[in-house]
Amino acid sequence: MPSKKPVAKAQASSKYDHKKIEPKWQKVWRQSDIYRVKEDKKKDKAYVLDMFPYPSGEGLHVGHPKGYIATDIYSRYKRMKGFNVFHPMGWDSFGLPAENAAIKNNTPPFKWTTENIANMKGQLKRLGFSYDWTREVGTYKPEYYKWNQWIFLKMLEKGLAYKKVSSVNWCPDCQTVLANEQAENGVCWRCSSPVTQKELEQWFFRITDYAEDLLKGHEEISSTWPEQVITMQKNWIGKSTGLKVNFKLESGEDFPIFTTRPDTLFGATYMVIAPEHPLIDALSEKLINFDEVKKYIQ
Per-residue pLDDT tens digits of the chain, which is 298 residues long: 556 666 656 566 678 999 899 999 999 999 999 999 999 999 999 999 999 998 988 899 999 999 999 999 999 999 999 999 999 999 999 877 788 888 888 999 999 999 999 999 999 999 999 999 999 999 999 999 999 999 999 999 999 999 999 888 999 988 888 888 888 888 998 788 999 988 889 899 998 899 999 999 999 998 899 999 999 999 888 888 899 999 988 888 888 999 999 999 999 888 888 887 888 888 888 888 999 998 998 8
Q: What is the DSSP letter of 57?
A: S
Gyration radius of the chain's alpha carbons: 29
Q: Report the alpha-carbon angle 49-86-58, nearest 5.
A: 50
Give, in order, the Cα–Cα distances in Å from 256 to each of 79, 249, 274, 297: 58, 10, 13, 21
Within the chain, where are the H helices?
A: 18-32, 63-80, 96-104, 109-127, 142-157, 211-221, 227-237, 278-282, 290-297
Rounded to the nearest 10°, the torsion over CA 122, 126, 130, 136 is 0
The model's pTM: 0.71
- Rounded Cα distance, 73 and 52, in Å: 17
Give, in order, the Cα–Cα distances in Å from 91 to each of 71, 267, 288: 17, 55, 56
- Per the DSSP assignment, residues forming a β-bridge with 170 are 177, 196
With 0-12 / 13-18 / 19 or more C-beta atoms within 10 angstroms meaning exposed / middle / buried, residue 233 is middle
- What pLDDT does 116 receive? 95
Q: How many C-beta neighbours within 10 Å does residue 174 have?
A: 19
With 0-12 / 13-18 / 19 or more C-beta atoms within 10 angstroms meaning exposed / middle / buried, residue 194 is exposed
- What pLDDT does 1 receive? 58
- Per the DSSP assignment, residues forming a β-bridge with 138 are 91
Within 13 Å of residue 287, how many CA atoms lie on the same side as its CB?
12
Q: What is the DSSP letter of 12?
A: -
Spell out the domains of the chain, with CATH numbers in brackets: 18-158 (3.40.50.620), 160-205 (no CATH), 206-239 (no CATH), 243-297 (no CATH)
- Rounded Cα distance, 216 and 248, in Å: 38
- Cβ distance 275 to 297 under 8 Å? yes
- What pLDDT does 103 receive? 86
- Rounded Cα distance, 166 and 198, in Å: 8
- What pLDDT does 298 receive? 81
- What pLDDT does 120 receive? 96
Determine the residue type at 43.
Answer: K
Query: Strand 45-47 relative to strand 84-86: parallel, antiparallel, unpaired?
Result: parallel
- What pLDDT does 7 receive? 61
- Per the DSSP assignment, residues forming a β-bridge with 245 are 257
